[in-house]
């Protein structure tokens, strides 16, 4: 152990009570991430092995729930068609803040092997904010667990702020969504 490990280099910080509470809340939020059981593409087949006994995501506090109201995490598992995007937007907006989105697979990053498809959204980031990407086609359950570890780290450090960005830039996201969804029949605000 080096001598440097015994003391901190940082200058003293002034933290207000709300910041201290926020840090505590973030620590607590990271320990129990509830994932909504909603699969959009081929990646959803990797979720059952992740939550069941072999990879057992529940030891990290990651569990699945049935309704958006109870969920913290939405997994975009693979390619996203326009038809699915409508449902994803509804599900995402019905979730309670704070909420986090994990993009699974190459298709969510840049379209992947469907980059020239007439029906696959290339950049999911334009329509809903994504906190953590897990690259691969398809990522194994270990990779998804690594993504969750990354998400927990980001939440604890207070950097998983996609839901705040969505509230701040709602008009921008709505404009992008309405550009590809022709007949906007869903309610304007779902929460």
Q: Is 171 in the site for other proteins (CB under 8 A)?
A: no
Distance (Å, whole) CA 1 – CA 75? 41
Q: Judged by CB under 8 A, which of 101, 121, 144, 152 binds other proteins? A: 121
Which one of residues 31, 97, 119, 169 is an interface residue with other proteins (CB under 8 A)? 119
For 171, the 3-state DSSP assignment is helix
Collapsing DSSP to helix, strand or coil, 44 comes out as helix
Among 86, 140, 156, 174, binds other proteins (CB under 8 A): 86
Q: Which of residues 64 and 154 has its CB atom nearest to other proteins in the complex? A: 154
Q: At how many degrees (to 10) do helices 141-156 and 17-31 cross?
A: 170
CA 106 – CA 43 distance, rounded (Å): 10
| Count of CB atoms situated within 10 Å of the CB of 163 | 19
CB neighbourhood size of 176 (10 A): 16
Q: 């980001």: which residue's tokens? A: 154
- For residues 125 and 80, give the distance between their C-alpha atoms in angstroms, rounded to a whole number: 12
State which of residues 16, 18, 53, 183 lies at the interface with other proteins (CB under 8 A). 183
Q: How many residues bind other proteins (CB under 8 A)?
A: 28
Residue matched to tokens 């607590």: 28
For position 4 contacting other proteins by CB under 8 A, the verdict is no
Q: Pick one of 21, 24, 115, 191: the residue that binds other proteins (CB under 8 A).
A: 115
Binding mask 45-84 toward other proteins (x if CB under 8 A, else -) reads: -------------------------------------xx-
Binding residues for other proteins, per CB under 8 A?
Answer: 82-83, 86, 109-111, 115-123, 125-126, 132-133, 135, 150, 154, 159, 179-183
């Amino acid at each position: 152990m080096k001598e440097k490990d015994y003391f901190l280099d940082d200058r003293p910080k002034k933290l207000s009570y709300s910041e201290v509470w926020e840090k505590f809340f973030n620590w607590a939020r990271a320990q129990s991430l509830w994932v909504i059981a909603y699969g959009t593409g081929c990646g959803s087949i990797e979720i059952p092995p992740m939550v069941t006994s072999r990879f057992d995501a529940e030891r990290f506090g990651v569990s699945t729930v049935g309704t958006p109201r109870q969920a913290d995490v939405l997994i975009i598992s693979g390619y996203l068609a326009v038809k699915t995007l409508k449902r994803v937007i509804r599900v995402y907006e019905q979730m309670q803040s704070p909420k986090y989105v994990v993009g699974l697979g190459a298709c969510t990053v840049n379209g992947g092997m469907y980059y020239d498809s007439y029906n696959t959204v290339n950049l999911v980031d334009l329509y809903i904010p994504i906190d953590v990407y897990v690259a691969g086609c398809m990522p194994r359950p270990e990779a998804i667990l690594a993504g969750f570890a990354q998400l927990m780290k980001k939440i604890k450090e207070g950097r998983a702020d996609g839901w705040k960005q969505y509230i701040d830039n709602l008009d921008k996201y709505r404009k992008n969504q309405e550009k590809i969804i022709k007949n906007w029949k869903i309610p304007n605000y779902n929460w």
